[in-house]
């Protein structure tokens, strides 16, 4: 099968879509980002061969028009980081069905679908069931070769976890972390973007569901403490608020005095996301970036003088060796 270069991107307005879109655009693909409010996302057109068009989720006519004249469908609807544009999980069945029908009618050749490791149709109702329904719809397009990438936690600049912890730590060393004891295997969004580019034409992944998780396992509390350490903040107080308090605080949006709680956390974080015996490098040919290295690219203070402490500690060096003028 000779794949075309035109990709229709759904759910691409969040931090994942921007990073993946950047990688695909610079790999030579022509992307169309479909959103409800194109005027809000004009900066996406700065990518080479990229455009932004209007789309109404679940509307069959709108979806058929969106998919027509494309060769590849990229579904990132599980990314809930952009609350202005995110499709509610309760609508995944409806939206998935419309995408499935439109993709079948348009003769889409290839589908890349992002999901989570807790996409389990046997897990009852709610988030897990909704993920499974959307995943099933993508694999139901008979004319397309579909690959689902099931991940644990994607981190990166403007994500809905670690970036929020950073913003809170800039205000005070007091960090409410929703689901603080949930265990995750974080993967840097740039590693995911690199993988997405590789997966487009990766024939061995056709029709498969692949586990895509980082090598490090840590709780969300440990992730927040890692952010604090990189920022040079000692004795940060990290605790888990109850769901009701977290909901009330996140509902305040920009007016909330707490910046570590994002509305998406209440939707997507439902428990541990850990998969044993998964070797990322053996599967995909490159080693995922370590969590502390990934975090340092967007949570470290911009002033290089304040970064020496962290990097010298990681290297096992004595801080007293550093010239006083650089401290």
Domain boundaries, the chain: 6-151
CB atoms under 10 Å from CB of 159, counted, come to 24
Q: What is the pLDDT of residue 253?
A: 77
Q: Which H, E and C letters describe the chain, residue by residue? A: CCCCCEEEEECCCCHHHHHHHHHHHHCCCEEEEEECCHHHHHHHHHCCCEEEEECCCCCHHHHHHHHCCCCEEEECCCCCCCCCCCCCHHHHHHHHHHHHHHHHHHCCCEEEEEEECCCCCCCCCCHHHHHHHHHHHHCCCCCCEEEEEEECEEECCCCCCHHHHHHHHHHCCEEECCCCCCEECEEEHHHHHHHHHHHCCCHHHCCCEEEECCCCCEEHHHHHHHHHHHCCCCCCEEECCCHHHHHHHHHCHHHCCCCCCCHHHHHHCCCCCCCCCCCHHHHHCCCCCCHHHHHHCCCCCCCHHHHHHHHHHHCCCCHHHCCHHHC
User: Taking 70 as the threshold, does the pLDDT of residue 143 lie above it?
Assistant: yes
Q: What is the pLDDT of residue 194?
A: 97
Contact 187, 155 (CB under 8 A): yes
pLDDT digits (tens, 9 = 90+) for 37-69: 999 999 999 999 999 999 999 999 999 999 999
Mean pLDDT of 152-174: 96
User: Taking 80 as the threshold, does the pLDDT of residue 160 lie above it?
Assistant: yes
Q: What is the pLDDT of residue 254?
A: 78
| Banded pLDDT at 327 (limits 50, 70, 90) | very low
Please state, rounded to an integer, the average pLDDT across all residues of the chain.
91
CATH of 6-151, one of 3.40.50.720, 3.40.640.10, 2.40.50.140, 3.40.50.10190: 3.40.50.720
What's the pTM value of the predicted model, to 2 decimals?
0.89
Tokens (6 digits) for 265: 């956390």
Q: What is the pLDDT of residue 64?
A: 96
User: Taking 70 as the threshold, does the pLDDT of residue 324 lie above it?
Assistant: no
Q: What is the pLDDT of residue 3?
A: 74
User: Taking 80 as the threshold, does the pLDDT of residue 119 lie above it?
Assistant: yes
User: Taking 60 as the threshold, does the pLDDT of residue 318 lie above it?
Assistant: no
pLDDT digits (tens, 9 = 90+) for 4-49: 899 999 999 999 999 999 999 999 999 999 999 999 999 999 999 9
pLDDT exceeding 90 applies to what percent of the chain? 81
Mean pLDDT of 69-97: 96
Q: What is the pLDDT of residue 250?
A: 82
Cα–Cα distance between 150 and 152 in angstroms, integer? Answer: 7
User: Taking 60 as the threshold, does the pLDDT of residue 252 lie above it?
Assistant: yes
pLDDT digits (tens, 9 = 90+) for 197-231: 999 999 999 999 999 999 999 999 999 999 999 99
| Banded pLDDT at 317 (limits 50, 70, 90) | low
pLDDT exceeding 70 applies to what percent of the chain? 90
Name the least confident of 31-45, 219-233, 267-281, 312-326. Answer: 312-326
Mean pLDDT of 141-170: 97
| Banded pLDDT at 306 (limits 50, 70, 90) | very low
Q: What is the pLDDT of residue 316?
A: 56
Contact 78, 87 (CB under 8 A): no
User: Taking 50 as the threshold, does the pLDDT of residue 269 lie above it?
Assistant: yes
């Amino acid at each position: 099968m000779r794949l075309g270069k035109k990709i229709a991107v759904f759910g691409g307005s969040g931090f994942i879509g921007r990073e993946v879109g950047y990688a695909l655009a610079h790999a030579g693909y022509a992307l169309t980002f479909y959103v409800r409010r194109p005027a809000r996302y004009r900066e996406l057109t700065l990518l080479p061969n990229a455009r932004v068009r209007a789309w109404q989720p679940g509307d069959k006519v709108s979806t058929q028009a969106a998919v027509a004249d494309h060769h590849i469908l990229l579904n990132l609807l599980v990314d809930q980081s952009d609350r202005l544009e995110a499709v509610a999980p309760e609508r995944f069945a409806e939206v998935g069905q419309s995408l499935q029908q439109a993709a079948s009618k348009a003769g889409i050749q290839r589908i890349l679908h992002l999901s989570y490791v807790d996409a389990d149709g046997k897990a009852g109702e709610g988030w897990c069931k909704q993920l499974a329904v959307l995943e099933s719809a993508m694999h139901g397009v008979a004319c397309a070769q579909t690959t689902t990438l099931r991940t644990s936690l994607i981190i990166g600049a403007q994500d809905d976890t670690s970036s929020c912890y950073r913003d809170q730590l800039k205000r005070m060393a007091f960090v409410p972390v929703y689901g603080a004891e949930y265990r995750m295997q974080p993967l840097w969004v740039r590693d995911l973007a690199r993988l997405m580019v590789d997966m487009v034409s990766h024939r061995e992944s056709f029709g498969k569901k692949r586990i895509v998780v980082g090598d490090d396992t840590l709780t969300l509390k440990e992730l927040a403490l890692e952010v604090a350490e990189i920022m040079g903040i000692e004795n940060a107080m990290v605790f888990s608020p109850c769901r009701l308090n977290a909901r009330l605080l996140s509902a305040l949006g920009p007016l909330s005095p707490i910046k570590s709680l994002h509305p998406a956390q209440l939707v997507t974080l439902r428990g541990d996301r850990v998969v044993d015996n998964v070797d990322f490098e053996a599967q995909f040919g490159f080693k995922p970036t370590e969590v502390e290295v990934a975090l340092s690219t967007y949570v470290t203070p911009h002033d290089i003088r304040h970064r020496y402490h962290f990097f010298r500690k990681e290297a096992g060096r004595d801080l007293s060796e550093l010239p006083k003028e650089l401290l």
